[in-house]
Structure 1
Amino acid sequence: MLLLAFVTESPMCLDDGVLDPEDHDMTLPTVPLSESAMQSLEAHIPELAEGAFKQAYLQALTVGGKALLARDGQLVEAKADGTERVIRSLAKPTAVTPGTQRLLRRQG
């Protein structure tokens, strides 16, 4: 996890160095994208998602000391010291054709 801190005497900031949203426009400018630019950006979604999952996993280990993950059809508890414990077996995944609607019913 990357933590950045700064101190400034800018009139836009509160006494603790945090930006005051009332004194600063926090909106990002929008830029129209071409179809090829959008497809290029979308091609990176899987690697961005992978990085986000890794970061969340490591943060869970760092903050809480453990994390849950699914591996080889089992729910596994991983601890910060490197040990792992199988919690239970998971149901097999259900194949779904894109665009198909499914009704889920709660069991029990």
Structure 2
Amino acid sequence: MKKADGILIICLMIFSVLSLIPLFNGSIMPSTAVVKIRNEEIMRIDLSQDGDYDVDGTLGNVHISVKDGSVAVTQENSPNHYCSMQGYVDSVNTPIVCLPNDTVITIEGADEEEDTVIS
């Protein structure tokens, strides 16, 4: 291997690492959890503050817990307890859905922008 080959390989490695910086540096922490029951927005929860919240679902009380920027249903009255089995969620792409209680919890990012539509 020649000296020029080594320099080229090092330059490519540096470029590869530098191109990944915007992916990690610009990551946006989710800021708000939106709780909907029967398609009606009941509350918005700030994920930067830990806490416990209760809402009335179709089958009874739904206990929601916020911890370290994540949200979870920790107690509910559905037959199989699927929504509390999901655990803590911190991704915008992963909703918590509790069909027996008609409860859906989604996470909105701090920087909600509309997608560009080209027609």
**Smaller-chain TM-score range?**
under 0.3
TM-score by length of 2: 0.22
TM-score by length of 1: 0.24
Query: Which of the pair is proportionally richer in strand?
Result: 2
Where relative contact order (Cα < 8 A, 6+ residues apart) is larger, the structure is: 2
